[in-house]
Chain A
Amino acid sequence: DAGVTQSPTHLIKTRGQHVTLRCSPISGHKSVSWYQQVLGQGPQFIFQYYEKEERGRGNFPDRFSARQFPNYSSELNVNALLLGDSALYLCASSLALAGGPGTQYFGPGTRLLVL
């Protein structure tokens, strides 16, 4: 089975622009979570979606939004990009119900550079 896939792998944008990142979970996984990893730090939780509903949100501004589609794939959208949004964006999928101790499996990430 294929693992978690993300697209694009790399992206360069300028300040003020908008970006959309995409994620396909492992087949059969209904939960998708998004994380931001700034260089030299651990990943920070942004969102979790389960069964197409937002189940949890981290401490990120409203410029960050996401959605999950009927096939459980997901998009992360970031508006009005700032230099500080430059990071590796990781998607993780899980079998578990929201709130369960399920193991999350990560994709390779999308590296976003904002100039």
Chain B
Amino acid sequence: GDSVTQMEGPVTLSEEAFLTINCTYTATGYPSLFWYVQYPGEGLQLLLKATKADDKGSNKGFEATYRKETTSFHLEKGSVQVSDSAVYFCALSGDTGFQKLVFGTGTRLLVSP
């Protein structure tokens, strides 16, 4: 079945450092790919998405490119802030015939001043 694999956390960075969180997926067909962010004690917020190969999703300085050849959707940000500290989830929506997101296990990001 469909699955998503994310890099283990926590990822610990200093403010203004470059961020990469790796995400790879396994799916049949052509899934849509998403990054969601979860701040402490809150639900999930959509960060960005891409619906077809070579699409780049971007939002709030974060970017991710849908790479079908490597089945990847890595999240990047050029300069992180303390306020970016959260858990980041990579997810896909496949060809199931209904609305179902398959999530990775999440990667915790800790940014220190």
Contacts and interface: CB of A to CB of B under 8 A. Distances in A.
Interface of A: 4, 31, 33, 35, 40-45, 48, 50, 55-56, 58, 88, 90, 92, 94, 96, 98-109
Contacts of B34: 103
Contacts of A43: 44, 89, 101, 103
A42 B99 contact: no
Interface string B73-113: 00000000000000001010101111111111110000000
Contacts, number: 78
Nearest to B33: A101
Interface residues of B, number: 26
B25 to A, nearest CB: 13
Given A42-B105, A106-B45, A108-B42, A56 B32 contact: no
Contacts of B46: 103-106
A42 B103 contact: yes
A40 B86 CA distance: 13
Contact of A56 (B43, B49, B100): B100
Interface string B44-70: 111001010000000000000000000
A105 to B, nearest CB: 7
B43 A55 contact: no
Nearest to B4: A42
Given A48-B99, A56-B98, A96-B99, 13 more contacts: A4-B43, A42-B89, A42-B104, A50-B98, A56-B99, A58-B100, A98-B98, A101-B51, A102-B93, A103-B49, A106-B43, A106-B46, A108-B42
B100 A33 contact: yes
B59 to A, nearest CB: 12
